[in-house]
Amino acid sequence: MLIDAHAHLDHYDDPQEALTRIEDRRILTLANAMDPDSYRRNLALAKDSAFVLPSFGVHPRRATEHSRNLSDLRPMAEQSPMLGELGLDFHWVRDTETYPHQIRVFEFLIREAAERDKVVNLHTKGAERRILDTLRAFGVKKAIIHWYSGPMDVLDEMIGEGYLFTVGVEVLYSEKIRDVARAVPPRQLLSETDNPGGHRWLAGEVAPPDIIADVVAEVARLKGLPPEKMEAVIQANFLRLISGDPRLAGAQALLERQNDNATRRSNAVSDQ
């Protein structure tokens, strides 16, 4: 099964059309939230598809408006089976006055995740070292590092911590991202689109959800693997991340059914 471990389903102009493509291609899609309203929209979309896994988070760009009302975020942080998108951005966000607000919201949500042993889906741009230090301080181990493009020494330390890393559509365009993909061990790789904004930012147009297959194929090429093998590795990585978490039992069951179906198909071919 293809896995898009970081997308913003509610941001499509036509989310229902995107859902149709996700269903047709059977793409397990982690629908990350930007803020509470975004989370509620993704929850509504998830009712229409077992392939959509919504999570609550506050993007660094939205932190200022929520940093003084942290208690309002707690019910959603408790409800959500994992947390994302959250993190810090000291690169694209140039207004340094927002940084204390970003840190306040980020540390609040990281504390919530640590107390409940939840997976976090992290935005790290320009704040890679600060985020690594925070994860270590709170003892968070179940982390997805979204679209890493920071210093390679920090990447090496994050790899050492066992975090998973999404490689997305920029791998189709950027040697820097190809270097990141080469550096991350296969068992710590995930795939993403960051749709609809990711490809639009790179190429000026929104790509359909199934561009994730092109991402997996390119990562497979970099790792010297057939695309179907890379797809299976990514599926196994995500399953290992969520295994045993009752809040994510639905996603586990979906992935395990796909494994069973793939095994039956392989056996049927072998018997012919």
Residue pair 134/109 in contact by the 8 Å Cβ criterion: no
Measured distance CA(200)–CA(181) in Å, rounded: 21
Residue of 38, 40, 36, 105 lying closest to 67 (CA atoms): 105
Residue of 71, 16, 14, 62 lying closest to 39 (CA atoms): 62
3-state helix, strand, coil split of the chain in percent (to 5) is 60, 15, 30
Average pLDDT value for the chain: 95
Measured distance CA(229)–CA(145) in Å, rounded: 22
Q: What is the pLDDT of residue 261?
A: 62
Residue of 259, 263, 222 lying closest to 1 (CA atoms): 259
pLDDT at 264 over 60: no
Residue of 58, 62, 35 lying closest to 106 (CA atoms): 58
Model pTM above 0.75:
yes
* Count of helix runs (H) and strand runs (E) in the chain: 11, 8
Tell me the CA distances in angstroms from 207 to 29, 31, 38, 85, 241, one per residue in order.
15, 16, 20, 20, 27
Measured distance CA(22)–CA(44) in Å, rounded: 16
Tens of pLDDT, residue by residue over 19-76, are 999 999 999 999 999 999 999 999 999 999 999 999 999 999 999 999 999 999 999 9
Tens of pLDDT, residue by residue over 154-190, are 999 999 999 999 999 999 999 999 999 999 999 999 9
Tens of pLDDT, residue by residue over 79-130, are 999 999 999 999 999 999 999 999 999 999 999 999 999 999 999 999 999 9
Segment 233-261 shows an average pLDDT of 92
